[in-house]
Structure 1
Amino acid sequence: MIKKIINFISDLTKSRIFVIGAFFAFLFILLVHRVFVLQVIEGENYLESFTYRIQKETELPSSRGTIYDRNGKILAYNRLANSITIEDSSLLKTNAEKNEMIFRLLQLIEGSGYEAIYNIPIRLYEDGTMEFTVSGNSLLRFIRNVYGKDNIDQLSEEQKSVTVEELFDYMCHGDDDTSMFGIDDSYSTEDALKIAAVRYELFMKRYEQYLSVTITSDVSDTLVAKIKENTAELPGVTVEQDYVRQYENSKYFSNITGYCGEISEDELEEFRLSGNDSYTSGDIIGKTGLEKSFENELHGEKGKQTVYVDSLGSILEVAERVDSSPGNNLYLTIDKDYQIQAYNLLEEEIAGILLQKLSSSGEGRIDMNDVYAALIKNGIIDLEHMKDKGASELEQSIYALYQSQESSRFETIRHLLDGTNMNSYNACSEEEREYIELIENIITNNGILDTSRLSSDDETSQLWTTGNTSLYEYLHYAIGKDAIQVSALEISDTFLDSNQIYAALTDFILLELDGNNSFSKIVYSAMLSQGMISGQQVCLLLYEQGVLEKDADYDNLLNNVVDAYAFMYNKIKNLEITPDMLALDPCSGSLVATDPKTGEVLALVSYPSYDANRIGDANYFASLLENESLPLYNRAMLQKTAPGSTFKMITAAAGLEEGVITPDSYITDMIVFDKVGIPVSCWSTQYSHGSIEITDAIKESCNYFFYEVGYRLGIDSNGYYNSEYGIQRLRKYMALFGLDRTSGIELDEAEPNMSDMDPVLSAIGQARNSYTPSQLARYITAVASRGDLYKLSILNKLTDSNEQTIQEYSPEIIDHINFKESTWDSIFNGMYKVIGNSSFLSVFSGLDVEVAGKSGTAQENALRPDHGLFVSFAPYDDPQITVTVVLPYGYGSYNSGSVAKNMLSYVFHQNEATDGKRQAANVDGSTVSD
């Protein structure tokens, strides 16, 4: 038996079936072993790593360099911040899944005290009603986006007239086929709108799905932790860490530091054309100020990493990483304390001038109704809030009154457009003029009116410029000159005759005016001037809208214990209502302080200013653009004015150095100078300054004396007066003092304008002389240093992130003015005597340090107050600082001199800055000789 079994096995092993069976048995054992290893021995490891993997390259942001003042005090720095972003995820297939995920995300965000993005123009009220928050073309553009059209003209009439409820239903309700986002009825109307807002942002990026949408920014670590804990339920949602630019005491320094913002397509292209391809869409760059001019130094270098992520966006593995490099640090010559003090002094002085003009009964008096109207025109009163159903009873009553007037005011505009009112601009009422100016701004700013196509030589163009033609005639003229850009009107048919173009233009204008805030301001202001709104109501609105916090003054105003005049006067005095909020004359000023021994700029102030930390807030930025005091305008570097009598030291130098006068020359003031051209008078038309020499001429600011010097500069070798010869000689000395070029300060600066005509008028700083405060500051620095002409600078040094110096900056002496000592002595003595002049003696009394200065008054608009200027340096015998003050439309130089004195008092520690409540300066309205 055993033998038979052995023989059977022997025969079997010799067969082909055995070989094949043994082979498959081996394979089966090998398979079982491999499965055992994979599932049992290494199963846990493979389970953890077995997931969806995709390679993704990400950028690592760099930290922008810090900006410091001269003493190492921080002005601008970067801080880390977290943002919550979302992008379309392939894991979410249906609308219901997407909506559920977004709702869960919104709950986490709002539960942590943050607000999510909400950019759709639909407002929901507590009673469940809704309304659009925009109108006119803005509304049509939103409707166009929702319906996915390329332009407004493609919308049907039914779509154009869609109600807010109908559009809400289209966006939210219904199934996936009949609704835009398929948000079912299980969500409240409020939640549905919030979900739709997020879906709308994603929808607008549907052709750029690689771009994420930021839901909320600068969030806490607590919210970040919640997001990460719920990662599995929030596909497409990520936490991105980036740097936020922070500015210390921003309003005092924003004209210097500038601000940062997201790079535009044009800026991106500029960098690429310059060979710099390190920037990408979404990067933050310097937009203005030093942030812009030192972008390359401050920006730093981004890092990058290659990672593997799963379907939820979680990082599985970092394959490669290159760390970012922080930007360099910039130290300035600016003294932070000087800058803050100078800004406050300007504000206090300007407020004091306003109060003096409010209480004055003389020339230039400001009517209190103009103050009330300014609060409306300058956007301090929020007219949009008046429409809100949550508005107060006072707001609602005033808005109801406005609504009763709105249609008639629109009819006024229609008559201007359809030719019913053919009055020229000059013949129109003040209100009609404001409508015409608004219409011109609308079509210009929207790129519809291209004025470059209109020749200034054309009769109609000249009539329009002088206000002697009607709006109707001007617009038809513009169409005839192809100056109306049809494409900007968003109409598909570009083959239109002139009447069709005018009809389309009229429709566009009327749509833009519907709900236009500027139009509303004109109407409200007209209602105020006509007594339909009272000053008390305007003052109460300041409390109703949170501009002022309710206090005892509110109760007194409400109960008629104080009238509106006394109330407003007190609020201006206490700087609760500041000059920039009113934008009346004056509302602005500049102060530049330099060290005459080094050419360093110690303070560079432009009032008013803005908070660069809030520049990314669309509403805040819009308010800055709306503010007629122009807070974004760097007046210290860009606003040119005639220098007035501050120029007379140049004329004195020219006369002395050219030998047309000597320090001992006496000229008798005849009051009226009539040797050439149209007779001109000295500033003192009632009495003569008598026979005076150069130092007293500077002290008294005797125009006649300097007219005569300008005249003598024009006497040629043949003894004849030659205006061209005279102005050339005078311009030589303007150039010696640097007025032929910009100051050198490392910011955008307007080009100076040296007068090229009439040496007689130019000699007193008039004619075509026009300079910025920075340029006047460089000139007075050269005076104080007895001839060192610096290229002024606000830069101290550049260091790396480890504080190792990369580059040191120092103001460059570009020339030295070699005058006779007697010339410098005459100028110094004259400026010293100015402070002893009876006009300024009271201003500078009590100041122990000896000061040299010169005032200046310049009239450039007969309908507005004179500019006030003052240049100075101290101590007189060893100048350590110069102070230049310019108050545009500041009612003369007395007030500018007061600011300069108070600044010098602070610098020399005789008037320390107070931590107490600030008030407007006590302005007595004195006048001075210039």
Structure 2
Amino acid sequence: MFERFRDNFLNLINSRLIVLTLVVILMGGVLIHRVFVLQIVEGENYLNEFSLKIKKERSISSSRGKIFDRNGKLLAYNDLAYSVTIEDVYESDKNKNKNLNATLLETIHIIEKNGDSVISDFNIYLDKNGEYAFNVTDTKLLRFLADIYGHASIDNLKEKEKNATPQDVINYMAETYGIGERTDPDDKSTFVPGQGYTKAEVLKLITIRYAMKANSYQKYIPTTIATDVSEKTVAAVKENNDALLGIDIAEDTIRRYINGTYFSHIIGYTGKISSDELKSLNEETSRGEDEPDRYEMNDTVGKSGIEKVMETYLQGEKGSETIYVDNLGKEIDSEGRVDPVAGNDVYLTLDADLQEAVYNILEQSIAGLLLDKIENIKEFKLGANQKASTIKIPIDDVYFALFNNNVISLEHMASAGAGDNEQAVRTAFLQKKEQVWSWLTEELYNRRTPYNQLAEEYQSYESYIVTNLLINDTKVLSVDSKDETYKAWSEEETISLSDFLEYAISRNWVDVSRLDMDTQYADSSEVFDRLVDYIRLELDKTAFHKKLYKYMIRDNSINGKQICMVLLEQELVSVSEEEKAALENGSISSYTFMRNLIKNLQITPAQLALDPFSASCVIVDPNTGEVLALVSYPSYDNNKLANGIDADYYASLQNDLSLPLWDYATQMRSAPGSTYKMVVASAALMDGIIDTRSTVDCVGSFTRYSDIVMRCWNTYGHGNLNVSQAITHSCNYFFYEMGYRFGLSGDPESGTNFELANTRMREYADAYGLTDKSGVEIEESMPQFSMANPSASAIGQGEHNYTTVGLARYVATVANSGTCYNLSLLDKVTDRSGNLLEDFTPEVRNTIEMPTAYWDAIHTGMKGVVEGKKYFVDAGISAAGKTGTADENKLRPAHALFLGYAPYENPEIAIATRIGNGYASDYAAQISCKVLQYYFNPDKEEDILNGTASQLEAVVNTED
């Protein structure tokens, strides 16, 4: 038995199976031991060291090129600054929004506590009534809404999305980003957007989250929360770094503009690229299918002006590097860095010193003109037979302008920090508001006074309610303009507001869905009551409040002294203690005090926005077509729009009645008035209508047309004048006759042919460049040639509309006797080492071949204009020019224009100046004289640019 057991055992040992089994057991033991070591003994260490590496390519932004003037004076550059950023390192779970929003809100509070601001370049802002509002309109608004709702094209917007209100967008975004609270923690449907946050906090969080969304496909690229922050903010963020997940401080570059206000319309500003810009710029700079796009969604690009025009030159070339990110998207390593190439530098044709001087001359001169028109009266009403040139500005209108154009802050008057006079004015306002509402309630329910029987003040309130509040602003009312009852309200003014509203309800003109009614089937009395409630809520807003202040000033509920003291309490102006005491004790009147503020430019024409408040001046080298100065007054600070638009500042610009965003030099158009007469003179001479010796007898009244009598500004007539004298004396009669003769076809009985006459004049307008844009590279309005009555057209009226820069090209062509250039603001482009890359020389558009005798006749006539003005003679300037006025509205002063060049013998510069609603052309000539004095007599700079209002000489003849 033992032997059998031994044999079996030996067979078992020698068996392949047992060997295999032992090997398996041994390997299993080793594996179990290794797993034990990895998971139990060293598991925690390995877990801490583990990270998933994902390879990514990251672009590195280049430094934007600089912008210089013609003399190498720096106008725009990049500056190093600190930014607060966030990386999306949050896990995508149900608590992500909550945790991310909490971190952002805490960061926002830290930034603001230290005096800095978070980004606000979102197309919604909080208006003065604390309501959300869009700061874009039309196509830009639709593009914004398409981006919000995730559509590639605005054509894909649904009707509800297309008509979304600012509040609708905020609610949608807040719900998307979890900015709000649930009334029932377990029920998602009870989520209330914005609950638990202030409106301002909601907007700031949405702005940042929306910016982060643009980077959602590249979490490793941080999103900027605030730019150009102080060292205090930097320190505070770093102190709280452990608690603020994903928040960091980054070195950044921001765009700076030196004396930006003087150049903002020309240089423009930069901002974050839009989806449309991304597409168009990448198409423009495409380098082939295998090459990466030059632009990305996080880039900063030129948004307007030269920054936009020269974008591809200024942008530079991005660098790149390979980075490795972990499974959360956080960068852990990098390699293969390729440095970016800085953008190229752009040089402009502008003379920066001249540009700044002209801007200051315009402001000082308009302030002087305003002071000449302001009188210590409460009202001025233009009489039936009075001309607009006689308009005076009551001091009460000046006081009201401070409220109407948002100079005085109504919000500050209602705040805890309001001064004594602010509180007194605020109390008077609240009493007035209650009084007006009591009157309106009584009027709506009981009195029912026909509109034409109301006092002017109450007519103003009712007109505002219907036209502005119910129809234009909110669309609560959709009226039928042909309806007889509507005409009885709007034209005949024979029914009451109550009668009109009740009729509107009966006709279903009222959109009850906008009244938040429980049911749209309510009876008419319920709709009327709800409409009254709606009116009260809407009237409790800033726009209507301003109307109340107008009549409070008029009825002396508040006075000029109080208003001046409010300016001091809000620190909007600064005066000596002696001046303040004099105002308080009455030794100086509020009228004199306010005039002194305007004289010292502490209150500017732009702030008041009372005619005149705007002007433009363009100076051209007539020998090259280069623009030396292109000035638009008023202007804005483009530093506040660069590096991400300051939404509040942008909104304030949009609400500014002086329209500072509007370029008055390139976008405002008006009739050229008598400055157009050189065009007609050229046409008449070249077409053989007259020669240099021909005369026309001006008798004052032009009676060639059977249905109209046209009068010369000199109603007694100028007598016999040749073409040079007609230009010098700006004889309308002479040029009426030229316009008439252009349309004669040989048959004396047929009269003049309007189309023929205007077609012949248009040929010469075109030769002077007045039928298309001037050539400057920034945005410019198209000119409009008049096809109206040829005699009216011949004196620069009719339908003519030209920009100041277009008129500058015209007079430059006159100055050089026939070479019409396409004007340019661009001089050259160089690389960072100063090597010339591109030279921009203005092109000759066309030349006017005209006999020297004809040119001499025109130049002589223009010289006569200047020689007849004492201030030009006293200044010792040899110049030639032409004045002109442009009537646009019989209830407002005419626009004032002057075109000229100097020196007369050998022109170096050509100038075009326009004062919007500037009363008389001679004022524009006086301003131009000051500009020429500055240009040719630098030693007079201190006298010309003294920082105070410039007194202009009184003008007798305002018709030229």
Deviation at 1:469, TM superposition (A): 8.8
Deviation at 1:604, TM superposition (A): 0.8
2:517 and 2:834 map into 1 onto residues whose CA distance is 60
Partner of 1:568: 594
Partner of 1:811: 842
Secondary structure of 1:635's partner? coil
Partner of 1:367: 394
Secondary structure of 1:661's partner? coil
Report whether the alignment pairs 1:683 with 2:708: no
Partner of 2:83: 83
Report whether the alignment pairs 1:409 with 2:442: no
Report whether the alignment pairs 1:704 with 2:714: no
Report whether the alignment pairs 1:246 with 2:232: no
1:507 and 1:895 map into 2 onto residues whose CA distance is 50
Task: Report the more deviating stretch, 174-183 or 395-404.
Answer: 174-183
Deviation at 1:236, TM superposition (A): 3.0
In angstroms, what is the RMSD of aligned CA positions? 5.0
Partner of 1:899: 927
Deviation at 1:458, TM superposition (A): 8.6
Report whether the alignment pairs 1:336 with 2:362: no
Report the CA distance shift for 1:557/1:663 in structure 2 as closer, same or farther (over 3 A): same
Report whether the alignment pairs 1:377 with 2:404: yes
Partner of 1:125: none
Secondary structure of 2:942's partner? coil
Secondary structure of 1:638's partner? coil
2:526 and 2:305 map into 1 onto residues whose CA distance is 42
Give the AA of the match of 1:783.
V
Report the CA distance shift for 1:24/1:197 in structure 2 as closer, same or farther (over 3 A): farther
Partner of 1:797: 828
Q: Identical aligned pairs, as a percentage? A: 36
Report the CA distance shift for 1:196/1:582 in structure 2 as closer, same or farther (over 3 A): closer
For the 8 Å contact 1:176–1:182, the answer to whether it is kept is no
Deviation at 1:432, TM superposition (A): 3.7
Partner of 2:547: 522
For the 8 Å contact 2:214–2:297, the answer to whether it is kept is no
Report the CA distance shift for 1:59/1:404 in structure 2 as closer, same or farther (over 3 A): farther
Secondary structure of 2:616's partner? strand
For the 8 Å contact 2:119–2:646, the answer to whether it is kept is no
Partner of 2:169: none
Partner of 2:333: 317
Report whether the alignment pairs 1:349 with 2:374: no
For the 8 Å contact 2:181–2:193, the answer to whether it is kept is yes
2:427 and 2:687 map into 1 onto residues whose CA distance is 72
Equivalence map 1:183-222=2 (5 Å): 210=216, 214-220=224-230
Deviation at 1:394, TM superposition (A): 1.9
- Which of 596, 601, 613 matches 1:587? 613
Secondary structure of 1:767's partner? coil
For the 8 Å contact 2:885–2:895, the answer to whether it is kept is yes
Query: After superposition, what is the alpha-carbon deviation per residue over 1:264-288, rounded to whole angstroms, capped at 9, x for unaligned?
Result: 4565676689897765555433333
Give the AA of the match of 2:672.
P
Give the AA of the match of 2:401.
A
For the 8 Å contact 1:257–1:290, the answer to whether it is kept is yes
Task: Report the more deviating stretch, 655-664 or 474-483.
Answer: 474-483
For the 8 Å contact 1:58–1:305, the answer to whether it is kept is yes
Partner of 1:732: 763
For the 8 Å contact 1:331–1:797, the answer to whether it is kept is yes
Give the AA of the match of 1:233.
A
Partner of 2:700: 671
Partner of 1:621: 650
Partner of 1:234: 244
Report whether the alignment pairs 1:828 with 2:859: yes
For the 8 Å contact 2:673–2:884, the answer to whether it is kept is yes
Partner of 1:535: 560
Equivalence map 1:837-848=2 (5 Å): 837=868, 840=869, 842-848=870-876
Report the CA distance shift for 1:529/1:270 in structure 2 as closer, same or farther (over 3 A): farther
1:39 and 1:561 map into 2 onto residues whose CA distance is 92
Report the CA distance shift for 1:496/1:334 in structure 2 as closer, same or farther (over 3 A): farther
1:354 and 1:575 map into 2 onto residues whose CA distance is 11
- Which of 557, 567, 582 matches 1:556? 582
Give the AA of the match of 1:284.
T
Report the CA distance shift for 1:569/1:66 in structure 2 as closer, same or farther (over 3 A): same
Deviation at 1:366, TM superposition (A): 1.5
Deviation at 1:587, TM superposition (A): 0.4
Partner of 1:128: none
Task: Report the more deviating stretch, 43-52 or 212-221.
Answer: 43-52
- Which of 574, 577, 596 matches 2:622? 596
Give the AA of the match of 2:78.
N
Give the AA of the match of 1:404.
Q
Partner of 1:653: 682
Partner of 1:750: 781
| TM-score between the two structures when normalised by the length of structure 1 | 0.81
Give the AA of the match of 2:846.
D
1:689 and 1:182 map into 2 onto residues whose CA distance is 75
Report whether the alignment pairs 1:547 with 2:575: no
Give the AA of the match of 1:357.
K
2:282 and 2:316 map into 1 onto residues whose CA distance is 17
2:320 and 2:554 map into 1 onto residues whose CA distance is 62
Deviation at 1:759, TM superposition (A): 2.1
Report whether the alignment pairs 1:877 with 2:900: no
Deviation at 1:60, TM superposition (A): 3.5
Query: After superposition, what is the alpha-carbon deviation per residue over 1:105-158, rounded to whole angstroms, capped at 9, x for unaligned?
Result: 4676467554567999xxxxxxxxxx998467879xxxxx9xxxx99x99xxxx
1:833 and 1:768 map into 2 onto residues whose CA distance is 28
- Which of 778, 783, 789 matches 2:814? 783
Report the CA distance shift for 1:345/1:204 in structure 2 as closer, same or farther (over 3 A): closer
Equivalence map 1:146-225=2 (5 Å): 210=216, 214-220=224-230, 223-224=233-234
Task: Report the more deviating stretch, 636-645 or 724-733.
Answer: 724-733
Give the AA of the match of 2:254.
V
Q: How many residues align?
A: 876
2:259 and 2:801 map into 1 onto residues whose CA distance is 32
For the 8 Å contact 2:465–2:535, the answer to whether it is kept is no
Secondary structure of 1:746's partner? coil
For the 8 Å contact 1:454–1:478, the answer to whether it is kept is no
Task: Report the more deviating stretch, 425-434 or 59-68.
Answer: 425-434
Give the AA of the match of 2:862.
M
For the 8 Å contact 1:447–1:485, the answer to whether it is kept is no
Secondary structure of 2:705's partner? coil
1:844 and 1:614 map into 2 onto residues whose CA distance is 40
Deviation at 1:854, TM superposition (A): 0.9
2:350 and 2:694 map into 1 onto residues whose CA distance is 42
Give the AA of the match of 1:513.
E
Identify unmatched segments of 5+ residues in structure 1.
1-8, 121-130, 140-144, 155-168, 184-188
1:107 and 1:699 map into 2 onto residues whose CA distance is 67
Give the AA of the match of 1:768.
E
Query: After superposition, what is the alpha-carbon deviation per residue over 1:651-693, rounded to whole angstroms, capped at 9, x for unaligned?
Result: 22122222222211232221222222422222122x4433222
| TM-score between the two structures when normalised by the length of structure 2 | 0.78
For the 8 Å contact 1:85–1:239, the answer to whether it is kept is yes
Report whether the alignment pairs 1:67 with 2:67: yes
1:415 and 1:213 map into 2 onto residues whose CA distance is 56
Query: After superposition, what is the alpha-carbon deviation per residue over 1:27-66, rounded to whole angstroms, capped at 9, x for unaligned?
Result: 76798799999999x9999788424656666554343333
Identify unmatched segments of 5+ residues in structure 2.
1-8, 135-147, 149-159, 165-178, 287-292, 378-388
Report the CA distance shift for 1:206/1:653 in structure 2 as closer, same or farther (over 3 A): closer
